[in-house]
Amino acid sequence: MKKTLPLICLLVSCIFLYTSCEKDDKDEQLTFSTEARDYLAEIMDIMENNSINKYTIDWSRFRSEVLSAANGAETIEDTYPGIERALELLGDNHSFYVAADGNSGISASTISCDAPSVTVVNWPDNIGYVRVGSYSGNSNDVAGLNFAKGIQLQIKNQDSDQLAGWIVDLRGNTGGNMWPMLAGIGPILGEGTAGYFVDPDDNRSSWGFSNGASVVNGSNQVTFIADSYDLINPNPKTAVLLDNRVASSGEVIAISFIGRDDTRSFGNPTCGLSTSNRNFNLSDGAVLYLTSSYLADRNLNNYGIPIEPDVQIDNDEIIQAATEWILE
């Protein structure tokens, strides 16, 4: 035994050294320019500190897989396979990257939402109808204000003391910028907090409508309409129409009506991107839109999943069902 023990130890040492060398050789195969490595590190640091899934991701493994996907990168463009892998590993289906040129981007969403297009809609004279579509511009420039005012103009042109209620049609609203949408539909939605952003640490900030503006945390105005319209009969009975194309900011508006008095939703489940993205400006001028919080209704119920309508019904019957409920 005394003669074989050193040999055994030597063999174990050799095996250990071989394994270590093999691992080192593998690591050495990952080569990057300083620019590429620093750029990937910048993005991964932002993700680790701010992702909605930051407490459920193995970040050591995450970084290893991202670097492997971008192996050999010399330029920022060469890092794109790594960025795509990072977005896949985040698993939120909502984060995306827009390159510095503003014309190209990377997304790894596995969610595909579709529904028939909404064309002609007919409704009774004693019910108001307003459609809230997508909007992707700024919150308070001319375009944003015009978008919000356009929604309020739909409301103003139909309002009367004879209306039994309103239909708010969100079908086909794939999202964009929530704030002009919220300001526009505010007269029907009503004053006050309508929902919350909730981050992984359970920090909350509210959204809502107040004094002609979409607001954060009750008083911080985002999109403000100076001559905002007031309904003749405030807080009306309201039917909200949904389909599978309602996503992201469209889902913000859907959630805003959940828990509101005299409100019922009709249609089909929404897309399921009911989370909030925060934009991070990167060192080269690109932007990372990172999912950093859940959407929650006014009663603090978190989403992040499709919003189920109160009444599930096909498009060809949805107006009739909504009308019948309003007129009950």
| Per-domain boundaries in the chain | 127-276+293-326
**205 φ/ψ angles, rounded to the nearest 5 degrees:** -135, 140
The set of long-range contacts for 59-62, using a CB threshold of 8 Å and a minimum separation of 24, is 62/86, 62/89
Pair 183, 210: CB distance under 8 Å: no
Assigned CATH class of 127-276+293-326: alpha beta
Residues paired with 167 in a beta bridge: 129, 239
Q: In whole angstroms, give the CA distance from residue 174 to residue 267.
A: 16
Q: Is 115 exposed, middle or buried (0-12, 13-18, 19+ CB in 10 A)?
A: middle
Neighbours of 193 (CB within 10 A): 16
Residue 231, Cβ density class (10 Å: 0-12 exposed, 13-18 middle, ≥19 buried): middle
What tens digit of pLDDT does each residue of 222-238 get?
999 999 999 999 999 99
28-71 residue pLDDT tens:
589 999 999 999 999 999 999 999 999 999 999 999 999 999 99
Lowest mean pLDDT among 77-91, 95-109, 158-172: 95-109
Q: Does an H or E element contain 281, and which?
A: strand 275-281
11 confidence band (pLDDT: 50, 70, 90): very low
How far does CA 145 lie from the centroid of its chain? 22
Confidence of residue 116 (pLDDT cuts 50, 70, 90): confident
Number of other CB atoms surrounding residue 217 within 10 Å: 12
Flag the least confident range among 7-11, 158-162, 167-171, 313-317: 7-11
Is 0.85 topped by the overall pTM? yes
Residue for token pair 């805003």? 256
Cα–Cα distance between 211 and 199 in angstroms, integer? 27
Please answer whether residues 261 and 301 qualify as being in contact, where contact means their C-beta atoms are separated by less than 8 angstroms. Answer: no
Q: How many CA atoms lie within 13 A of 226 on its CB side?
A: 2
